[in-house]
Amino acid sequence: MAANNEQKQPQHEKKKQTKPCVGRETFERMNYLYQAAMLMSDKSPHLSAYYGKLTKSIGKKSVLRMEPAIKRTLCVRCGVLLNPGYTANITDYRWKKLCYLQVDCTHCGFSKRFYNSKNHQLWLDNPASVIERFEFD
Ligand SMILES: [Zn+2]
Protein backbone atom coordinates (compact mmCIF):
# COMPACT_ATOMS: atom_id res chain seq x y z
CA MET A 1 0.00 0.00 0.00
CA ALA A 2 2.81 2.39 0.89
CA ALA A 3 4.47 1.83 -2.47
CA ASN A 4 1.21 2.70 -4.26
CA ASN A 5 0.91 5.95 -2.32
CA GLU A 6 4.49 6.91 -3.24
CA GLN A 7 3.80 6.23 -6.89
CA LYS A 8 0.63 8.28 -6.83
CA GLN A 9 2.21 11.36 -5.26
CA PRO A 10 4.68 12.13 -8.06
CA GLN A 11 1.87 11.86 -10.62
CA HIS A 12 -0.19 14.32 -8.59
CA GLU A 13 2.76 16.75 -8.37
CA LYS A 14 3.48 16.32 -12.07
CA LYS A 15 -0.17 17.03 -12.84
CA LYS A 16 -0.03 20.16 -10.69
CA GLN A 17 3.13 21.44 -12.42
CA THR A 18 1.72 21.04 -15.91
CA LYS A 19 -1.39 23.09 -15.11
CA PRO A 20 -1.90 25.33 -18.13
CA CYS A 21 -2.26 29.06 -17.84
CA VAL A 22 -5.73 30.12 -18.87
CA GLY A 23 -5.59 32.33 -21.93
CA ARG A 24 -1.83 32.05 -22.42
CA GLU A 25 -2.05 32.11 -26.23
CA THR A 26 -4.38 35.08 -26.08
CA PHE A 27 -1.99 36.94 -23.77
CA GLU A 28 0.89 36.18 -26.14
CA ARG A 29 -1.13 37.51 -29.09
CA MET A 30 -2.07 40.64 -27.13
CA ASN A 31 1.59 41.13 -26.20
CA TYR A 32 2.66 40.81 -29.83
CA LEU A 33 0.02 43.29 -31.01
CA TYR A 34 0.94 45.73 -28.23
CA GLN A 35 4.59 45.61 -29.27
CA ALA A 36 3.58 46.18 -32.90
CA ALA A 37 1.47 49.18 -31.80
CA MET A 38 4.46 50.51 -29.87
CA LEU A 39 6.76 50.21 -32.90
CA MET A 40 4.27 51.90 -35.23
CA SER A 41 3.29 54.76 -32.89
CA ASP A 42 5.88 57.23 -34.24
CA LYS A 43 5.91 56.06 -37.89
CA SER A 44 2.26 55.28 -38.62
CA PRO A 45 -0.29 56.31 -35.95
CA HIS A 46 -3.19 54.83 -37.98
CA LEU A 47 -1.59 51.38 -37.92
CA SER A 48 -0.75 51.79 -34.23
CA ALA A 49 -4.40 52.65 -33.52
CA TYR A 50 -5.53 49.55 -35.42
CA TYR A 51 -3.19 47.26 -33.47
CA GLY A 52 -4.08 48.91 -30.16
CA LYS A 53 -7.80 48.59 -30.77
CA LEU A 54 -7.31 44.94 -31.81
CA THR A 55 -5.37 44.30 -28.58
CA LYS A 56 -8.19 45.73 -26.48
CA SER A 57 -10.94 43.89 -28.38
CA ILE A 58 -9.14 40.54 -28.07
CA GLY A 59 -8.85 41.08 -24.31
CA LYS A 60 -12.54 41.95 -24.09
CA LYS A 61 -13.69 38.97 -26.13
CA SER A 62 -11.72 36.44 -24.08
CA VAL A 63 -12.45 38.23 -20.77
CA LEU A 64 -8.79 38.79 -19.88
CA ARG A 65 -7.57 41.90 -18.11
CA MET A 66 -4.64 44.06 -19.01
CA GLU A 67 -2.50 45.58 -16.29
CA PRO A 68 -3.59 49.20 -15.64
CA ALA A 69 -0.10 50.53 -16.40
CA ILE A 70 -0.30 48.99 -19.89
CA LYS A 71 -3.96 49.78 -20.42
CA ARG A 72 -3.35 53.46 -19.69
CA THR A 73 -0.84 53.73 -22.53
CA LEU A 74 -3.59 52.98 -25.08
CA CYS A 75 -6.05 55.72 -26.06
CA VAL A 76 -9.57 55.01 -24.80
CA ARG A 77 -11.26 56.23 -27.99
CA CYS A 78 -9.00 55.31 -30.92
CA GLY A 79 -6.60 52.78 -29.34
CA VAL A 80 -3.38 54.45 -30.49
CA LEU A 81 -0.38 53.88 -28.23
CA LEU A 82 0.13 57.15 -26.35
CA ASN A 83 3.78 57.90 -27.03
CA PRO A 84 4.69 61.28 -25.49
CA GLY A 85 5.90 63.68 -28.16
CA TYR A 86 4.53 61.67 -31.08
CA THR A 87 0.92 60.68 -30.38
CA ALA A 88 0.29 62.26 -26.98
CA ASN A 89 0.73 65.53 -25.13
CA ILE A 90 1.10 65.12 -21.38
CA THR A 91 0.38 68.00 -19.01
CA ASP A 92 0.80 67.98 -15.25
CA TYR A 93 -1.75 70.24 -13.51
CA ARG A 94 -1.19 71.33 -9.94
CA TRP A 95 -3.48 73.95 -8.53
CA LYS A 96 -4.24 74.13 -4.77
CA LYS A 97 -5.35 70.60 -3.82
CA LEU A 98 -6.29 69.58 -7.36
CA CYS A 99 -3.51 67.58 -9.00
CA TYR A 100 -3.91 65.51 -12.11
CA LEU A 101 -2.07 64.35 -15.18
CA GLN A 102 -3.83 65.11 -18.45
CA VAL A 103 -2.99 62.97 -21.47
CA ASP A 104 -4.20 64.35 -24.82
CA CYS A 105 -4.27 62.04 -27.81
CA THR A 106 -3.03 63.92 -30.89
CA HIS A 107 -4.52 61.26 -33.19
CA CYS A 108 -8.21 61.65 -32.24
CA GLY A 109 -8.18 64.54 -29.74
CA PHE A 110 -9.45 62.57 -26.76
CA SER A 111 -8.14 63.68 -23.39
CA LYS A 112 -7.94 61.62 -20.23
CA ARG A 113 -7.19 62.81 -16.72
CA PHE A 114 -5.47 60.70 -14.08
CA TYR A 115 -6.01 62.25 -10.65
CA ASN A 116 -3.26 62.10 -8.06
CA SER A 117 -4.66 61.58 -4.60
CA LYS A 118 -2.53 60.46 -1.70
CA ASN A 119 -4.83 57.70 -0.47
CA HIS A 120 -5.57 56.20 -3.87
CA GLN A 121 -3.99 52.80 -4.50
CA LEU A 122 -4.60 50.41 -7.38
CA TRP A 123 -5.83 46.96 -6.43
CA LEU A 124 -3.01 45.30 -8.37
CA ASP A 125 -0.42 47.21 -6.30
CA ASN A 126 -1.79 45.51 -3.19
CA PRO A 127 0.12 42.25 -2.42
CA ALA A 128 -3.18 40.58 -1.44
CA SER A 129 -4.31 40.75 -5.07
CA VAL A 130 -1.76 38.13 -6.22
CA ILE A 131 -3.28 34.65 -5.98
CA GLU A 132 -0.96 32.62 -8.15
CA ARG A 133 2.21 33.37 -10.10
CA PHE A 134 3.11 31.55 -13.32
CA GLU A 135 6.69 31.10 -14.47
CA PHE A 136 7.28 30.55 -18.17
CA ASP A 137 10.45 29.28 -19.83
ZN1 LIG B 1 -6.98 58.69 -29.51
Task: Note the pLDDT tens digit of each residue in 42-78.
Answer: 999 999 999 999 999 999 999 988 888 899 999 999 9
> 85-108 burial by CB neighbour count: b if 16+ within 10 A, else e?
eebbeeeeeeeeeeebeebbbbbb
Report pTM: 0.76
Neighbours of ion ligand 1 (CB under 5 A): 75, 77-78, 105, 107-108, 110
pLDDT > 90? residue 132: no
120: confidence class by pLDDT, cuts 50, 70, 90: confident
* Ligand 1 centroid distance, CA of 39 (Å): 17
pLDDT > 70? residue 122: yes
CA dihedral (137, 123, 30, 106) positive or negative = negative
